[in-house]
Every structure is written in structure tokens, then in C-alpha cells.
Amino acid sequence: MRAAILLALAGSALVIAAAVLLASSRPRDLSARARAIESTLRCPTCQATSVADSPAQAARQIRQVVEQQVRDGRTDEQIRGFFADRYGTWILLDPPTTGPDIVVWILPAVVVVGGVIVLVRHARHARQANHDSGTADLATRQGGPRLAESAVFGAMVLALLAPIPAALGLRPAGAPASGGAPSTTPTIAQLEAWVAADPSDARILTQLGDALLGAGDLPEAASRYRAALTVDPAADAPKLGLAAILIESGRPDVAVTLLDGILGTNGASADALFMRMVANQQLFGRADARVRADAARFLEVAAGDDVRRTTVESLLAASDANQSSAASASPGSPAP
Amino acid sequence: MIAAGGYAFTFLGTGSAVLGLIAAIQALRGRWPSGIAVMCAAASAVGFAGASVLMIVALLARDFSVSYVAQVGSRSTPALFTVSSLWAALEGSILLWASLLAVVTVAAARWVTSRPPDRRPGVLAVLHALLAFFGILLLGPGNPWRPVFPVPADGPGPNPLLAQHPLMVIHPPLLYLGFVGLAVPFALTVDALWHRRLDDRWIADASRSTVVAWIPLTLGLTAGAWWSYAVLGWGGYWAWDPVENVALLPWLTATAFLHSAMVGRRTGALLGWNVALVSASFLLTLFATLVTRSGVLQSVHAFTLSAIGPLLAGLVAASLIGTVGLAALRTPAGRTGSIGGIRGAAIMANNLLLVAVAATVMAGTVFPLVVEAVDGSRVSVGAPYFERIVGPIGAVLLGLMAAGPLLPWGRWTDRIAWRLVTPLFGAVVGAVAAAAAGLGAAGVLGTAGASFSLFATLLSVARRSRLRPLSVRRQGGLVAHAGLAVMALAIVLAASGRADAEAQLRPGQVVSVAGHRVEFLSTAAGSSSTGMTVEASLVLDGTAFEPGPRLTVSSLSNQAFATPAVRPGVLGDVYVALLDADPASGTVTVRVSTYPFISWLWVGGVVLALGAALTLAQRGRGSEAVIAAEAAAVRAGG
Amino acid sequence: MTVTFRVTPPSGMDRGPGVDRPAASFDLQTLDGRRLGLGNYAGRPVIVNFWASWCPPCREEAPLLVQLARRAPQGLAVVGILYQDTAENAQRFVDEFGVPYATLLDPQGTAAIDYGLTGIPETFFIDRTGMIRAHQVGVLSQADIDAKLRTIAGP
């Protein structure tokens, strides 16, 4: 019986090997080679499809170049290098086997080897345990440590709650993103690197200013905002930042002038209205007509879920309450 | 008006879920009867299902004062795709998620009741917590009912790619049903861990409910692949796109669990491993929702644009921490014992490889996102990488799948070796046929492997029907294996046997590919709901090729979509994509491809799901005694 | 292939391995039938702008480029290269905006490939010595132009 099995094994192996040899001995024609190369190149204008598969025009043009180069007798590596040179290695669908990308190549092997080790140890352990007692040890772990369970529960609650403060400051999912502006909150270090790479980008400069302002570094933030304004004098965002700094550093009067300028061209800027309201409140108290006018206008123009609404509403309500006492405040006095 | 009603229903669903969570916890502590939590589940299902129905009504009524309708509706979208717009964007798909989860929760509550001890409190606590989370998303940051003012006269409509083919109508609900279905075995496992009751009934019910979820998941993945093939025009069905990859991950671990559960049921071993697989499957569905629904794929930087992304990330983190913590603290040491002879060893090898595939897919999907988030650079992990790693592992898995059912739950004997040698005949026939058909070396090897697998599976079916003619359930697994073997064969043959030609044609010119003649007659311009279209009329092998391939230039984005024309066949498809049409010269550029046997991929997917459904049939409550007896026999003998 | 990773700020910034390398030469036909290459501009700073009439951001930035080409500071030349568009549509665009600079036809996409184009608009800033000094993916603002012009100004 063993002999028959071995014979059958050897026989089928032989036939299959012969079939594979026959198949691989056939010369690969040029178009097959071109196709193989194309399937490793990313279509530059698509999401994730290869040049070989994509119906996009850009992919078709690259296919023509690949086919031409294959006909010209260039090697696969030369052709792939030609495109990597122009588009960067991003154009190659395979991650390189050097550098940090090596992680993705080794990981599957690590999982398999690690799994085998765990399984073998488990099997040995099981055999050992069978020798020793053969009884299940359900009881030994009963009454697991209470403290650990509470810690797990606490960590779960923390993980659920942690994103909420971040989430509250964000706009609802359906709202359109503002025109292509960087939309994450990068670190100050990252922003500084980007500014160093391109010191003339007003948006990044403003973001850096915002980040520095958030970190409490007012002078540095101010200098970034000013740099942003030098690049783009019409931008509102750096002016808002400067206004915030002025309010913070006790010059709400100057902030009001700046904000008047913004609101002169864009009267519906909720940010500017809110800030002018705050500045005027510091100057004249919350019952001042200018504060109330800005507050009312803010409530008109601000997004429905703007978190500042509550503040403004409570301010209006509070100032309604002592409206009479505030009536003596001089209305309409020009901003200094 | 509809918006207020919809919000009220959403509120009912969420409020009932929160109440249900409280009721379930009280029931766990023995204070309230568990029936209260069950009633809350029903109320929650009414709430979320009602909200979904109202949203569909609002979509059909083109009520653009509702923010979600203004976002995805349009007057020119046909009714079918207007209904399916419910899941065309973020908020709507969360609403669908919540509705399906609520319905699944009610079904689970009914299903677990019949068997004391009462596991409803634990199971409902988990499911209600999830429902409450998604409900809160819908009431707050993901509210689809926000008023829009002024009311727009028309909307942009859904993404044009999603409104072209009826497969897109069934694919997302099936996938979501599979996803939320996996919450049930997860909830059963959390309950079992909580009560330290990882017993025979837990493993039996967890695997049964996993099968129930696995069926729509499998069908959903197949429908997605088929849609990609029929609509996207690049001729493939699986691009290893992150959206596809993350949906595959839970399928891989759930498949692994379905097999390791067999070992668990027989020997009681592998407790921790089975807990890990069930939990991973469900956590991966949350991860898939996070990745596809947080905007992280458009750009890592879009992630924080909406509050939903961070909140979902919080849910994934909390679930992971809770599950790992609970499992670490409360998993009893496994009943020691063998893993079930060489059959068990083969199943463990299958598990290991399935997990390795999942790890590969996960790494390849997440790594570029991590790198981009850390230093802003773009790295490329594309199809060639996945194919190079998943291909060989898949081949070994295919071999194990073929051999597994032929192996005994005991020791190796020469008779078994003989059983394994017989299907080699299939491999030989496959290899010779593939070589004769002119396939390449990889194609010949792949065909040999897939035919070995198919032949071995068919032999197993024959053997089993001889042994136990009426046991349908015992054949279900083999039917599923046969489906997968057919899929493997289709994948290999379509990939290695394909032929392509790209040609620029004037009217009357012909391009020939693999014996098929495609003649170009003329083009016709028109407009569809999504934009301007050009359709080419072609003649394929003497008969009109209708509908012809189309090129649609979206009226909104100026992107061009090449909708292919496909003539399916038992032996292979002819697939024509219109790449370019030049109205001035009247010429078109077409790519004509032939894909041998590709239709069998969809057939195989359906057979795969059918096989799984068969395992559910013929196994009522009485079968538990059978399993217990079988398990006792194995333990006594092993 | 020394550049493995590219540091890319989120959007609209410099991208690609093209910066600080010699600009690829091209020799293409203009809309009005002349042949024109990068060599024709030897010794002058050049802005190469890839565009198409169907691309809304291209319409947005066209007036800025037209204005810049009219001013032509320090002998600056602007060259447009058409991307996946027909000559007729391009001519209409040129007439509409009064585009004073040459528009080159690139029917085979060779220039687009040589410049590693991933979409339009994309704009390359080339200094007098023929080196690419800055690169813009996406629409140009006046601030972008002013800043990137600085990188190719001077001798």
C-alpha cells in the first residue's frame, strides 16, 4: 500500500512538474512583459488601480510609454525606475523592501512563526497537564482581582469619553470642509517644519500662529500672524488671531479696530463678531448696546451647532436681566 | 415635518436603547426581570426602523429641507437608487447600521431566551450599549435630520458610481447585516466571560450565530466584487482597496472561528483562542466602520473633520480594552486535552494561516495611513504586495481545505494517505488541461491546486453521502468548500487565461481577441441622471452587443466613468470598456478583454453562502444532545 | 531612486521628486501650429502650467497667470501645456481669458509623464538655469505665485 501511495505521489508530481515546465518554457511575448510591468505601476490619477487595469487616459498614455520602452529593449527595472524617477516611488504599487516598509513584508512570516511556537508550546503544556492531573482547573482563576476589573472598566470609560472634547469643537459631519485648507491639527513642530519648507504659505503660517496661541506663546504667535499678513494682506484668519492676542494682552480697544476692519468687508464673520463682542464687553460691560448688537448678529450668522452659542445666549439673557441698570452706559460711543 | 418625526423616532430608538442598557444591567444584578430589557429592544427597533423608513420617505419625496436629503438626493435620480441613497453617505449608513443592529438585537433576545440559565441580560447589555452609542451619534454629530434653510430646489444626488447598478442596492445592506450580526456571538461571549460560563453551549451558540452573520457577510463581499467588475470598468473585482480590505478582515477571522469552534465543541480545548477570534471578528467590523466612515481614507487629515471619526475610534478602543481585559481576567484555563488529532491539527493550521492573511491585509491597509499620519509622506502598498503574500498562503489554505474533511479526528493511517492521494488525479488533469490551454506556469500550478481542492471536496461529499445519506447538515460545510474551490478555480483561470486588446476604431473596424470579433458601428451621445454619456454600439461575434459600453462624464465633477459592456458566458466573459470617444473623427478607443470562467466566481460565492446556510438547517434544539454525546465520546476516546 | 519618502504637507504644497532637479525638456506643437520647446526659453525663468478647459480650478487661476505673463517680471515666461483636452475647447478658453502665452498640445501625454503629473492644475517654477525650484499641485493663489516666484527670481 505504501509503495502504491508513493508511486501515485511521484507520478502526479512528475506530470504536474512537466506541465509547469512546458508552460514556463513558452516564450513570454513582449505584450505580456509590458502587462506585467504595468500591473506594478500605480495609475497616477486614480485611487488604487494599476496602470494595467485603469481605463483612465493617463494610464493609457503610460501604457504606451511602457510598451515602447519594452520594444526598445529596456529591462523591467529600468522601466520601473523611469517612472519612479518622475513620480517618486509612490508610483510603484509594491512597497520597497528597504527602510520602514520592510515591516509589511516581514509581518506575515512573524505571525505564522509566532503562531506555530504558541501552538507547539500549548500542545506540550496540554500533554504535561494531562500527565500531571488531567483535571480542569476552572476554579483556580475564580474571583479574579476586583481592582483589575475596575481598572479595565475605567480605561473603557476613558477611551469612550476622551474623544468627546475633541468632537465638541468640530463641525458636523455633513458640513463642507473649507476649501482644501489643512484640516487636521498638526503639532507645532510639524507646522514649523512646513513653514521652514515654505515660509510663504499664509495658511500654514496662520495655523502655526493658532497653535502657538493655543500653547500660550503670544509674542511668537503674533509674529507668525504678521508674517501671514505680509504674504496675504487680505486674509482674515491671521487678523482674528492678532485680535485674540490683543484681547488676551489687555488691548481690547486695538482689537476692536482690527475687527471693525474685518467686519467692514465681511459682516457675516461669526468669529469676528464673537471676538468683537468679547472685546467690547471688556471695554464697556455686557449690557452695552454694541455687545448686544454683536451678540444678536452672531446668533443670526453662526452655525446651528456652534458651541459658542450657549455662551452668547446666556450673555444676552444675563444682560436682559440687568438691562435697566445698564441703560446708562453711553451707547454708540466711537471705538477708540 | 418629516424631519421632526424622523428625529423623534431616532430619539425613541436611542432612548429605548439607553433604558434597555440600564434594564439589562439591573437584570444582571438580579433586580429587574430581563423582560424589561427585551421590551426596550423592541421599542428601540421600532424607533430606528421607523426613522429609516421616514428617511426613505423623505428621500422619495425629495424633501430637501432635510440635510441628508439635500446632501445625497436629487430629482433626477431614479426611485431605486433614491431608496439606496439611504446608505450612500455617512449619516444614512449609520442610521441603517443602527436599524439593522436593533432588529438583530430583538432577534437575539428571542433566540437566547428559550434556554435557561437566562443569558438575555448579558447579551442585551452589550447589544444595547452598542445601539445607544450609534443612537447618540445619530442624535448629535451624525444627525441626518438637520434643517436646511433656504431649502435647495435640487440636490447633487448620490455619488454617480453608486447609482448605476442594482448590485449596489443589495451590497451594503448585506455587508452591514453581516457586520451587525457578528455582534451577537460577541455579546454571547462577553456574557459567557462575565459569568465564567465558557461551556459547550456557549461555543455551540457562538458558532451558530456566527454562521448566521457569515452568510450575509459572504454574499455582501461577493456582491461587492461583482459590482466592482460590472461597473468600474477596469475588469477586476478586487482592487485591494482599503475599503474592500477592511470588510474582508472580519470575514477572515470569523471563518477561522467557524473552524476552530469545531475543535472547541469536540474537545473543549482552545477556549482563549476561540474567545479571541469571536471578539476579533466583531472588533474588526467596528474597525471597518471606523476606517470607511471616518473620512480617514480620503486623507488622514480628513479624519478629525467630523466628530464621528474620533468618537468611533473611542468606541473601538473601549471595546478592545474591555474585551481584552475581561478575557484576561475571566477566561478559565482551557480544559486540557488534545486539539482533536490530525483533523484538529489541520484546522489549527488553517486558523493560523487565516490569521496570517488577516494580519497581512491589516498591515498593508493600515501602514500607509500610519506613515501618512506620522510624517505626511505617502507610501504605496498595492495589489502586487497583497497578491504576492496572500497568493501562496491562499494556496496552502486551499490544500488544507481539501484535505481537512478527509482527515480523522484521530491518528494518521495509511488508509488516510490513500484518501488524499486519490484527488491528486484532479490536480493532474487540471495541470495538463491548463498547460494544453496555454496558461503560464503560475496558471498551471494554480489550476492544479484548485482542481485538487474541488476534486477532493467532491470525493468527500460522495464519501459522506455513502456513510450518512440523509445528514444534510454534515454536507453543508463541504458544499461551502466546493463553492470556495470553484471560486479559486475561477480566480486562477480568469487571471491567467485573460486576453486583452486595446484599439482605436473607426466605424466598421473590427478588433479580435481570443477568437471573439468585436465590430464598432457608431456612437450615440445622450444624457443620464449622472451626466453626459457616450454609448458605443458594437457587434460581438455577429450579434448586437447590448447595452454597449458607456463613457459617462459626470456633470458635477468632470470625472469620466467607463461603464463596461459585459457578455457573460459559462466558459468566459467578453468585457468591453469604452476608454475614449472622439466626436470629431467618430473614432473610439476600446479595451476588449476576455476572462475565462469568471462568472463562476459569483456562482461560487453564492454556493459558499448556501453551504453555510445548510449547516444551519436540520439542527434544532435536539441536536445539542447529539453534540454533547459526540463530544463526550471524543473526550473519552481521546 | 534615493528619495524613498516624500514629506508632503497636507494639501496644495510642494510635492514630488521634481523640485531642485533639472526640468525635463519638451518639444511640442502650439495651438497655433508652431513648435516650441523649453530650449526656446534658455536663460529665462519659466512657469510651466498644466491645464485643461474642463478643469474649474484652472479657470480660477487663469486670470492670475495671464496677468503675470503680461507683467513678465525679470523676463519671466509662462508656458501652458494642455492636459487631456481638445484643441477647440482649449482655443475657446484661450480666447475667453485672453491668454497671451503659448499653449502646447501634449496628445501623447509625454510631457505630463516627464513631469510626473498626478492631476491638474499643476504648475512648475523653473529658474534661469533650467532647474525646477518649486511645484504647485492644485490651484494657484496670488500668494502662491508670489512666494514661488521668489524661488526662481534672481540671477
What band does A198 get if pLDDT is binned at 50, 70 and 90?
Answer: low
When CB atoms are compared, the residue of B376, B558, B584 closest to C8 is B376
Shortest alpha-carbon distance between residue B375 and chain C (Å)? 7
% of chain B exceeding 90 in pLDDT: 43
Angle subtended at Cα B249 by Cα B244 and Cα B255, rounded to the nearest 5 degrees = 125
* Cβ density class B10-49: b for 16+ within 10 Å, e for less: bebbbbbbbbbbbbbbbbbeeebebebbbebbbbbbbbbb
Strongest mean pLDDT among B278-282, B552-556, C63-67: B278-282
Inspect the interface and report whether the beta carbons of A160 and B359 lie closer than 8 Å: no
Give burial (CB, 10 Å; 0-12/13-18/19+) of B323. Answer: buried
- The answer on pLDDT for A133 being more than 50 is no
Which residues neighbour B366 within 8 Å (Cβ) at sequence distance 6 or greater?
none
Q: Which residues of C touch A64 (CB under 8 A)?
A: 108
Question: What is the distance between the alpha carbons of residues B160 and B142, in angstroms, rounded to a whole number?
Answer: 23
Q: How many CB atoms lie within 10 A of CB A5?
A: 14
Q: Evaluate whether C133 touches C20 at the Cβ level (below 8 Å).
A: yes
Inspect the interface and report whether the beta carbons of A94 and B364 lie closer than 8 Å: no
Q: Which of B460, B435, B278, B263 is nearest to B342 (CA)?
A: B263
pLDDT computed for residue B302 by the predictor: 53
Q: Evaluate whether B338 touches B269 at the Cβ level (below 8 Å).
A: yes
Inspect the interface and report whether the beta carbons of A57 and B303 lie closer than 8 Å: no
Which 601-630 residues of chain B touch chain C by CB within 8 A? none
- The residue that leads in pLDDT, C138 or A326, is C138
Q: Which residues of A touch B239 (CB under 8 A)?
A: 48-49, 53
Disruptive mutation site among C6, C51, C58 for chain B (greatest number of B CBs within 10 Å): C6
Inspect the interface and report whether the beta carbons of A26 and B71 lie closer than 8 Å: no
% of chain B exceeding 70 in pLDDT: 91
Q: Which residue of A has its CA nearest to C120?
A: A45
Disruptive mutation site among C6, C8, C11 for chain A (greatest number of A CBs within 10 Å): C11
C-alpha cell of residue B211: 454562521
Q: Which residues of A touch B348 (CB under 8 A)?
A: 119
Model confidence pLDDT, tens digit, residues B108-146 = 998 887 667 888 899 999 999 999 999 999 998 888 998
Binding partners of A (≥3 Cβ pairs within 8 A): B, C
What band does A129 get if pLDDT is binned at 50, 70 and 90?
Answer: low
Q: Among A165-169, B458-462, B533-537, name the one with the lowest average pLDDT.
A: A165-169
Q: Among A41-45, A57-61, A78-82, B369-373, name the one with the lowest average pLDDT.
A: B369-373
Strand partners, B562: B551
Disruptive mutation site among C7, C115, C118 for chain A (greatest number of A CBs within 10 Å): C118
Q: Which of C59, C36, C56, C60 is nearest to C48 (CA)?
A: C36
Q: Among A90-94, B83-87, B252-256, name the one with the lowest average pLDDT.
A: A90-94
Average pLDDT over residues A22-27: 80
% of chain A exceeding 90 in pLDDT: 3
Q: How far is CA B502 from the centre of its chain?
A: 33
pLDDT computed for residue B249 by the predictor: 96
Shortest alpha-carbon distance between residue A305 and chain C (Å)? 27
- The answer on pLDDT for B12 being more than 80 is yes
Q: Among A248-252, A295-299, B364-368, B431-435, name the one with the lowest average pLDDT.
A: A248-252
Q: Is B326 on the interface with A (CB under 8 A)?
A: yes
- The answer on pLDDT for B59 being more than 60 is yes
Which residues neighbour B116 within 8 Å (Cβ) at sequence distance 6 or greater?
none
Inspect the interface and report whether the beta carbons of B311 and A137 lie closer than 8 Å: no
Inspect the interface and report whether the beta carbons of C6 and B377 lie closer than 8 Å: yes
**For strand B531-540 and strand B516-527, is the pairing parallel, antiparallel, or unpaired?**
antiparallel
Shortest alpha-carbon distance between residue B376 and chain C (Å)? 5
Model confidence pLDDT, tens digit, residues B144-156 = 998 887 787 787 7
Q: Evaluate whether B37 touches B23 at the Cβ level (below 8 Å).
A: yes
What sign does the dihedral A81-A87-A89-A95 (CA atoms) show? negative
Strands in C35-37's sheet, in edge-to-edge order, are C21-22, C131-137, C122-126, C46-51, C77-82, C103-105, C27-30, C35-37
- The answer on pLDDT for C16 being more than 70 is no
Inspect the interface and report whether the beta carbons of B558 and C10 lie closer than 8 Å: no
**For strand C103-105 and strand C77-82, is the pairing parallel, antiparallel, or unpaired?**
parallel
- The answer on pLDDT for B242 being more than 80 is yes
**Which ipTM score applies to this complex?**
0.80
User: In this structure, what is the dihedral angle of CA atoms A191, A193, A196, A199, given to the nearest 10 degrees?
Assistant: -20
Q: Which residues of C touch B584 (CB under 8 A)?
A: 86, 88
The amino acid present at C30, given as its one-letter code, is T
Q: Evaluate whether B294 touches B309 at the Cβ level (below 8 Å).
A: yes
Disruptive mutation site among A38, A49, A120 for chain B (greatest number of B CBs within 10 Å): A49
Q: Which residues of B touch C6 (CB under 8 A)?
A: 377-378
Inspect the interface and report whether the beta carbons of B584 and C86 lie closer than 8 Å: yes
- The residue that leads in pLDDT, B566 or A336, is B566
Quote the DSSP letter at residue A101: G
Question: What is the distance between the alpha carbons of residues B113 and B106, in angstroms, rounded to a whole number?
Answer: 11
Inspect the interface and report whether the beta carbons of A85 and C146 lie closer than 8 Å: no
Q: Among A243-257, B224-238, B265-279, name the one with the lowest average pLDDT.
A: A243-257
Angle subtended at Cα A255 by Cα A253 and Cα A258, rounded to the nearest 5 degrees = 120
Number of A–C residue contacts, CB under 8 Å: 95
**Helices and strands (H and E) in chain C: how many:** 4, 8
Inspect the interface and report whether the beta carbons of C6 and B378 lie closer than 8 Å: yes
Q: Among A175-189, B79-93, B224-238, B568-582, name the one with the lowest average pLDDT.
A: A175-189
pLDDT computed for residue B637 by the predictor: 44
Q: Among B246-255, B289-298, B331-340, name the one with the lowest average pLDDT.
A: B331-340
When CB atoms are compared, the residue of A62, A90, A204 closest to C9 is A204
Average pLDDT over residues B611-620: 77
- The answer on pLDDT for A173 being more than 60 is no
C-alpha cell of residue B452: 485538487
Q: Among A324-328, B32-36, B225-229, B394-398, name the one with the lowest average pLDDT.
A: A324-328
What sign does the dihedral B6-B9-B15-B16 (CA atoms) show? negative
Strongest mean pLDDT among A138-152, B273-287, B405-419, C10-24: B273-287
Q: Which residues of A touch B325 (CB under 8 A)?
A: 148-149, 151-153, 155-156
- The answer on pLDDT for B590 being more than 80 is yes
Q: Is B562 on the interface with A (CB under 8 A)?
A: yes
Model confidence pLDDT, tens digit, residues C22-68 = 888 899 999 888 898 888 888 888 999 999 887 778 888 999 999 98
Inspect the interface and report whether the beta carbons of B306 and A19 lie closer than 8 Å: no
When CB atoms are compared, the residue of B241, B307, B502 closest to A47 is B241
What sign does the dihedral B181-B185-B190-B191 (CA atoms) show? positive
Q: Which residue of A has its CA nearest to B360?
A: A108
The amino acid present at B119, given as its one-letter code, is R
Strands in B565-567's sheet, in edge-to-edge order, are B499-505, B587-596, B572-582, B565-567
CB under 8 A, 24+ apart: contacts of B58-64: B58/B2, B58/B3, B58/B6, B59/B83, B59/B85, B59/B86, B61/B2, B62/B155, B63/B2, B63/B3, B64/B148, B64/B151, B64/B152, B64/B153, B64/B154, B64/B155
Shortest alpha-carbon distance between residue A177 and chain C (Å)? 13
What band does B632 get if pLDDT is binned at 50, 70 and 90?
Answer: low
Which 575-594 residues of chain B touch chain C by CB within 8 A? 584
Shortest alpha-carbon distance between residue C27 and chain A (Å)? 17
Q: Which residues of C touch B375 (CB under 8 A)?
A: 5, 7
Average pLDDT over residues B502-519: 90
When CB atoms are compared, the residue of B299, B375, B379 closest to C7 is B375
Q: Which of B196, B173, B193 is nearest to B93 (CA)?
A: B173
Average pLDDT over residues B17-25: 95
What angle, rounded to 10 degrees, do the helices at C87-97 and C56-71 form?
A: 60
Average pLDDT over residues A301-328: 65
The CA distances from residue B30 to B23, B156, B188, B202, C57, in Å, are 10, 53, 18, 21, 65
Quote the DSSP letter at residue B293: H
The CA distances from residue B440 to A26, B301, B430, B433, B575, in Å, are 8, 44, 13, 12, 21
Q: Among A95-99, A113-117, B572-576, name the one with the lowest average pLDDT.
A: A95-99
Average pLDDT over residues A12-16: 89
What band does B555 get if pLDDT is binned at 50, 70 and 90?
Answer: low
Q: Which residues of A touch C18 (CB under 8 A)?
A: 86
Q: Which residues of A touch C137 (CB under 8 A)?
A: none
Inspect the interface and report whether the beta carbons of B299 and C11 lie closer than 8 Å: yes
Q: Is B377 on the interface with C (CB under 8 A)?
A: yes
What band does A182 get if pLDDT is binned at 50, 70 and 90?
Answer: very low
pLDDT computed for residue A43 by the predictor: 86
Classify A78 as helix, strand or coil.
helix
Classify B563 as helix, strand or coil.
strand
Q: Which residues of C touch A54 (CB under 8 A)?
A: none
Average pLDDT over residues A110-121: 83
Shortest alpha-carbon distance between residue A280 and chain B (Å)? 31
Q: Which residue of B has its CA nearest to A96?
A: B380
Q: Which residues of B touch A101 (CB under 8 A)?
A: 367, 379, 381
When CB atoms are compared, the residue of A63, A101, A126 closest to B379 is A101
What band does B52 get if pLDDT is binned at 50, 70 and 90?
Answer: very high
Binding partners of B (≥3 Cβ pairs within 8 A): A, C
